[in-house]
Chain A
Amino acid sequence: MSYYLKYKYLEELHPKNLIDIDSIIQKVKIARRFESVEISDIELNKLVKAKELCELSIIDNWENQESENFKQLCSIYFDIATILQLPTDPQEEIFELIKIISFGYLGEGWHLVRQFLKKIDPNHFEKLNATQWNQRLLIVSFKALIAVVNKKNWEELRKAVEYINNLREEQAKFETSYLNDHLENQKKSVAAELIALYHLAKSIEILSQYLLDGQPNNALEQTTYHLGYANRYSDQAGNFSFKLLVQYFEPFAYKLIRNSLWHITRGTNSRVSKFNEFISHRVDKPVFEMLYPQREAILVGGLLNDAFDAVVINLPTSSGKTLIAEYRMLKALNQFADQGGWVAYAVPTRALANQITIQLQKDLAPINIRIEKLSGVVELDGFEESLLEEDAKFSQFDILVTTYEKLNLLIRQGVGASDDRPLVLVVIDEAHNLEEETRGIGLELLLTTIKKDCRSANFLLMTPEVVNSSEISNWLSADRGTPISLGLHWWQPNERVIGALIADGNRKKYNVILKTLLTQKGTFKVAEDIKIIHYDEAPLARSKVYGSAGVKKKFSALAASSLTDLSKIVLARTPGDTFDIAEDLWNYSTESFPDDDEIELVIKYVEAELGAEFPLCRFLKKRIGIHSSALPEEIRFLIEDLMANEKLKTLVATTTISQGINFPISSVIMASYSYPFSTMPHRDFWNMVGRVGRAGQDTIGFLGIVLKNDNELAKVMNYVSEAAVALRSQMVSMIQEALNYPSISFEQWLFREPKWSSLLQYISHLYKQTQSLDSFISNLEINLQSTLGYRQLNQIQRNYLRQNIRQYASGIDKNHASLSDLTGFSTITIRNLIGQLSDAGIKSSDWSPNQLFSKQGDNLKKLVVIMLRAPEIRKQMEEINIGEKSLDRSSIARLITDWVNGKNIESLASTYFPNDNFAKSVERCTRILYRNISNAATWGLAAIQKMPNSGIGWEKLTEVEKRKLANLPAMIHYGVNSDEAVLLRKNNLPRSLSSRMGELFRASVGDDIFSHSSTSIR
């Protein structure tokens, strides 16, 4: 719901008195973000009036505090009151702040209350001097209350308890004289006020104690008791202002208790209690309260309810989904502890796998939950094979974090299906990827396979708003699936503005204007244009960045360089664009920055990995970072870390960063809202928007879409105003397209669109599990019903699909189906690989690392030729040659050989791309190695190894020899040439150090490196 609708509700209640109040609230909100927006006294007076009327409407609805209208009014009051000046009189200020806190909580926005209080100088209240005992009681209780709401850590809550304890000691000192200072006829009401204040203070003490450790058990009842008395005595005190304060405080106190971890998860299980104990007591970012969506997910949505096998969490980005997943995982692990149950946490990217692993290790490892991560490549290296094999005997992990594709490979190999070590929960992060054009079908069929093969598996899908989430939960588990969505449609974790950026002016004198845009979601919009940058003498003429010859990349860099916000992101279309934009930013930057150890360390790391000439080293010195798939995973991770620690001013990233950013961003400049070959889907766009101004940040987030010229405005307005449609299976569009070309068989589609491989693999996996073609066909309808796509197809499409599957299945060789499950390639690719390998004549001896990666041999070249014919990886391999001068197959093989043998990037760049300028050649070389070769060639080689005519006599090898061979593809992935170095690289050691450190490691542990867990290495 847009803010327009949220605030319009107040106008509806007071139609004559609050005309257009929604625009004024939004304008004042925006004015706090952009100085150029001016607010008149008339507008401010209207806002004051709106605040008063809002409070009166809240009082009018006081008996319906659980109603959506009441919550909405409270949230509106909070929004208005926090943009107005606070009263100057200390007592009035305290009363107003208590009101803001209370209504903030009742409007389900405690996280915003905390943000707001952060802006208030903590010493401000320390300075307040109370001359009277009643004032002192109020001020000290208020300070305790602020500590309870802020609760930065355990200590702060202890401090709140201490404040109240001190009051007890002071009572003896001040109370009598205070009472004696009053006339006899005043004493009764003065004493009543004191009693009310004592009860208020006591209830604050109970609140802090309860947040600390969940005690007293009956905190709700005790608070009710004390606030009942506070209420009664405030009545007798005859001070209406104070009575109102008590009236407002009461529901806040109950809400705080109801938001606490202890209340929400009471009696769930011992693991959850341990977890609560840990996360509330830790020094770094303790958690005491749950956000509104988290609480609703558990209490209303039934997240921890045994009755549900499949839960689809359908919540806005930044609603705290990871914590929700943690509770669900703990429940599953507890429930299946006796059977050795484990959880798979599947994510779309390697970067996210890293982030999630670190987060889970931080949160769950201290309560003895074991977390392991598998690499993102679609193959199992020797160490991963060892881990899984050992795990089957003695469980090695409780939670396995990996990518969708890797999980698919495991499931199809039977991991998680056994009753001895069952997969009990699958968490799918960013599950809206079900509709992603190339990978969506694979994810859908992974879930379908888990449903069929892993009978103990439950599902938890986490997505940003998907309108048909009940259809998805119903697909996963017909009677036992449930979607979890928010009841309050206007609720947002953060506040933001979305707008188009245009350049207005002439030559070098112009303004960058933000035109705020109307959206369906919670974003602020004002009628006025907002001048965000003014140039008297811009570094580039307007015509170079905007207009008929406008260049978005240039405009973005210019705008970003002029914005003073910290932690901003510029979104680029391609990895290459990230370098161009960062280069411009670097040129514009005239600022000098003090030395920073963290930055210097990252620069050293980049120098060691990619060479001192790699542009990122220069960029970082000016606090500019880049982030794309063309960078090594470790460097991307370090850059994210710098962003999280607010060390960078600007990060230039490709749009893929939208999935799973876990650091604060104040603003985003979008040089592009399209992916390299398509428009960014709406869900991805809103996912990105959701990261801007994340919960916990104190300013309104700002996302500006850069326009090329004025003509583009209408298109962008249209793009952001469209609501996301229902999530559709990719199978639907595939079959629709296939029906347009009925003469093309499924086999042929594979060569046109590699995503067809997922469907073919699903079919061959099903076929492998049946006795005969007849039984496969007789069960086909049932198995297809298990997919989401089949349910969304019409009858004609269904018939067509069944008919073609029958045709395809009749040609499947069961051995090929098994190989398909082992490799992630379709049976058609397998058949072709086998055919080509017969001609290649690779022998067993050719597979030793020294032979395979030797400059003299041509075996790797032969294998590269074969790989280039596999549809699943061909596109990635072909990308090596996009745009610029081609690398022939021999060069690709030589590049891989040099890469594995440890040549550094600078030397590889000058050898293989000698015609480019040096910086460009390094960029290109890095992109090819980290984006294409490390994925595609690794996968391809691993698949070839498993072919029966690969030349490897697997049956004659010892276990250790098998694992060593299985590590060959990983050597390509990590760019090293020993098993030890692979192990160290898996644990994020820099490539430049891994070989030498690997030798030292071998010297210390001997040959038995496969028995070492990743934890022991660390």
Chain B
Amino acid sequence: MEEQLRDLYSNLNKRALLIRYLANKTRNLESAHPFKKDYQRALNCYYLQDHPNYQLIGVLIRDIAPDESDLQNSYQKLESHVLNPRGIKLIACYIPIEKEKWNDLIRKESVK
């Protein structure tokens, strides 16, 4: 995760790739879909100025019991690189379901 965040901070092309990824994910959504609306708003905001305006948010998802050191370690590693001027938000989700089952669960959800 740290490497991905560091890349996104320092490499414009990587950020552009992420945006294209999101564009592909939203292209079939209705324009009124909340995610699409958020995406469009964020896109406008990002490109509005000569220097892109964005904030990095790292999300860690694990299938273990919550462990504060996960983010602390990451935060310390990233602090010197990306904290200023952008700032960074790190979020951790600890899910009490085994990682191997996630794919199936997500698919079932999307079928519904």
Interface residues of A (CB under 8 A from B): 14, 16-17, 42, 45-46, 49, 52-53, 55-56, 59-60, 62-63, 87, 92, 240-241, 244, 247
Q: Is the CB of B27 within 8 A of A60?
A: yes
22 residue pairs of the A-B complex, CB under 8 angstroms, read A16-B44, A16-B48, A17-B44, A17-B48, A45-B50, A46-B50, A49-B47, A52-B16, A52-B47, A53-B47, A56-B23, A59-B20, A59-B23, A62-B27, A63-B27, A92-B13, A240-B20, A240-B21, A244-B17, A244-B20, A244-B21, A244-B24
Q: Is there an interface contact between B19 and A56, defined as CB atoms closer than 8 Å?
A: yes
3 closest pairs, A vs B, by CB?
A59-B23, A17-B47, A56-B23
A-B contact count (CB 8 A): 41
Contacts of B16 in A (CB 8 A): 52
B80 within 8 A of partner (CB): no
Contact B13 A87 (CB under 8 A): yes
- Scan residues 1-50 of chain B and give those whose CB is less than 8 A from a CB of chain A: 13, 16-17, 19-21, 23-24, 27-28, 43-44, 47-48, 50
- Extra inter-chain contacts (14) besides given A45-B50, A56-B20, A59-B23, CB under 8 Å: A17-B44, A17-B48, A42-B50, A52-B16, A52-B19, A53-B47, A56-B19, A56-B43, A59-B20, A60-B27, A62-B24, A92-B13, A240-B20, A244-B20
Chain B 43-63: CB-based contact to A (< 8 A → 1; otherwise 0): 110011010000000000000
Determine the chain B residues whose CB is within 8 A of the CB of A244 once the complex forms.
17, 20-21, 24
Q: Cβ of B20 and Cβ of A55 under 8 Å apart?
A: yes
List the A side residues contacting B28 at CB < 8 Å: 63
Residue on A nearest B18 in the bound complex, by CB: A240
Residues of B within 8 A of A60 (CB): 23, 27
State in angstroms the CA–CA spacing of A241 and B17 once bound together: 7
Per the bound structure, the CA–CA distance linking A62 and B20 in Å amounts to: 12
Report Cα–Cα, A16/B45, bound state, in Å: 10
Whole-angstrom distance from the CB of B107 to the nearest CB of chain A? Answer: 13
- The chain A residue sitting closest to B49, CB to CB, is A17
Q: SS class of chain B's interface: helix, strand, loop or mixed? A: helix
CA distance A746 to B89 in the complex (A): 91
For A42, what are the chain B residues with a Cβ–Cβ distance below 8 Å?
50
Which residues on B sit within 8 Å (CB–CB) of A53?
47
- Complex Cα spacing A60 to B13, Å: 19
A275 to B80, CA, bound (A): 68
Residues in A whose Cβ lies below 8 Å from that of B24: 59, 62, 244, 247
How far is B18's CA from A240's CA once the two chains are assembled, in angstroms?
8
- Cα-based distance from A120 to B14 in the complex (angstroms): 25
Residues of the B chain whose Cβ atoms lie less than 8 Å from the Cβ of A52:
16, 19, 47
**Chain B residues with CB under 8 A of A92:** 13
Q: Which of A49, A56, A240, A241 has the most CB of B within 10 A?
A: A56
**How far apart are B18's CB and chain A's nearest CB, in angstroms?**
8
Residue of A nearest to B28 (CB): A63
Distance to closest chain A CB from B49 (angstroms): 9
Task: Give chain A nearest CB distance to B50 CB in angstroms.
Answer: 6
Residue total for B at the interface (Cβ-Cβ under 8 A): 15
Of the candidates B27, B47, B48, which one forms a contact with A59 in the assembled complex, judged by CB atoms under 8 Å apart? Answer: B27
A45 vs B48: C-alpha distance when bound (angstroms) = 12
> A55 vs B16: C-alpha distance in the bound complex, in angstroms?
10
- In the bound complex, what is the Cα–Cα distance between A244 and B20 (angstroms)? 9
Which residues of B are interface residues toward A (Cβ below 8 A)?
Answer: 13, 16-17, 19-21, 23-24, 27-28, 43-44, 47-48, 50
C-alpha spacing A87/B20, complex, angstroms: 17
Q: CB-CB < 8 A to B21: which residues of A? A: 240, 244
Interchain CA distance A62-B26 in the complex, whole Å: 11
Q: How far is the CA of A336 from the CA of B27 in the complex (A)?
A: 53
Distance of A242 from chain B, by nearest CB (Å): 11
Q: Which residue of B lies closest to A240 (CB)?
A: B21
Report A238 CB to chain B, min CB distance, Å.
12
Query: How far, in angstroms, from A76 to B48 measured CA to CA in the complex?
Result: 20
Question: Nearest residue in B to A62 (C-beta to C-beta)?
Answer: B27
Distance in Å from the Cβ of B105 to the closest Cβ of chain A? 18
Question: A247 to B27, alpha carbons, bound, how many Å?
Answer: 14
CB distance from A53 to the nearest CB of B (A): 6
Query: Nearest Cβ distance between residue B71 and chain A, in whole angstroms?
Result: 23
User: Once the chains are docked, how many angstroms separate the CA of A45 from the CA of B50?
Assistant: 8
Task: Please give me the residue from chain B that is nearest to A48 by CB atom.
Answer: B12
Nearest chain B CB to A245's CB is how many angstroms away? 11
A796 and B23 CA atoms in complex are apart in Å by 64
In the complex, A49→B23 CA distance in Å?
15
Q: Give CA–CA (A60, B24) in the complex, Å.
A: 7
Minimum CB–CB distance for B28 against chain A, Å: 7
User: A15's closest neighbor in chain B, by CB?
Assistant: B44
Residue of B whose beta carbon sits closest to that of A14 = B47
Alpha-carbon distance between A241 and B15 when the two chains are bound, in angstroms: 11
Residue of B nearest to A58 (CB): B23
A376 shortest CB reach to chain B, Å: 59
Tell me the nearest residue of chain B to A52, going by C-beta: B16
Chain B neighbourhood of A62, CB < 8 A: 24, 27
Alpha-carbon separation in the docked complex, A17 to B46 (Å): 9
> What CA separation (Å) do A16 and B28 show in the bound complex?
24
- How close is B14's CB to chain A, nearest CB, in angstroms? 9
User: In the complex, A128→B31 CA distance in Å?
Assistant: 44
C-alpha spacing A59/B24, complex, angstroms: 6
B67 to chain A, nearest CB (A): 21
A46 contacts across to B, CB distance below 8 A: 50
Alpha-carbon separation in the docked complex, A943 to B102 (Å):
95
B6 nearest CB across to chain A (Å): 17
- Nearest opposing residue in chain A for B39, CB measure: A56
Q: Measured between C-beta atoms, what is the minimum distance from B90 to chain A in Å? A: 22
Give the residues in chain B near A16, CB-CB below 8 Å: 44, 48
CA distance A157 to B24 in the complex (A): 34
The docked-state distance in angstroms from the alpha carbon of A92 to that of B16 is 12
For A14, the chain B residues whose CB sits under 8 A away are 44, 47
* Cβ distance A183 to chain B, nearest Cβ, rounded Å: 16
Taking CB as reference atom, which chain B residue is nearest A50? B47
Question: Which residue of chain B lies nearest to A18 when distances are taken between CB atoms in the complex?
Answer: B47
Q: List chain A residues, Cβ under 8 A from B23.
A: 56, 59-60
Docked pose: A313 CA to B13 CA in angstroms? 45
A244 to B43, CA, bound (A): 19
A825 vs B48: C-alpha distance when bound (angstroms): 73
Chain A residues contacting B47 (CB-CB under 8 Å) are: 14, 17, 49, 52-53
Residues from chain B with Cβ under 8 Å of A247 in the complex: 24
CA distance A16 to B50 in the complex (A): 12
Most chain B beta carbons < 10 A, residue from A16, A60, A92: A60
Neighbouring B residues of A45 by C-beta, 8 Å: 50
Q: How far is the CA of A87 from the CA of B12 in the complex (A)?
A: 12
B52 to chain A, nearest CB (A): 9
Report the separation of the CA atoms of residues A916 and B47 in the bound assembly, to the nearest whole angstrom.
72
Question: Please, how many angstroms separate the alpha-carbon atoms of A487 and B43 in the complex?
Answer: 32
**Docked CA distance A244–B18 (Å):** 11
Which A residues touch B44, using CB under 8 A? 14, 16-17
Contact residues in A for B13 (Cβ distance below 8 Å): 87, 92
A437 smallest CB distance to B (angstroms) = 54
Question: Which residues on B sit within 8 Å (CB–CB) of A17?
Answer: 44, 47-48
Instruction: Compute how far the CA of A46 lies from the CA of B49 in the bound complex, rounded to whole angstroms.
Output: 10
CA distance A49 to B24 in the complex (A): 18
CA distance A14 to B19 in the complex (A): 15
A645 to chain B, nearest CB (A): 44
| Chain A residues, Cβ within 8 Å of B27 | 59-60, 62-63
Q: Which of B24, B43, B50 has the most CB of A within 10 A?
A: B24
CB distance from A916 to the nearest CB of B (A): 68
Tell me the nearest residue of chain B to A45, going by C-beta.
B50
- Cβ of A81 to closest chain B Cβ, rounded Å: 13
Given the contacts A17-B48, A59-B23, A240 and B17 also touching, CB distance less than 8 Å: yes
- Rounded to whole angstroms, the CA-CA distance of A52 and B47 in the bound complex is 9
Nearest Cβ in chain A — how far from B51, in angstroms?
9
Q: Measured between alpha carbons, how far is A412 from B85 in the docked complex, in Å?
A: 86
A244, B48: Cα distance in complex, Å: 25
State the CA gap A59–B22 with chains docked (Å).
10
- When distances are taken between beta carbons in the complex, the residues of chain A under 8 Å from B20 are 55-56, 59, 240, 244
Question: CB-CB < 8 A to B19: which residues of A?
Answer: 52, 56
A49–B19 CA distance with the chains assembled, in angstroms:
12
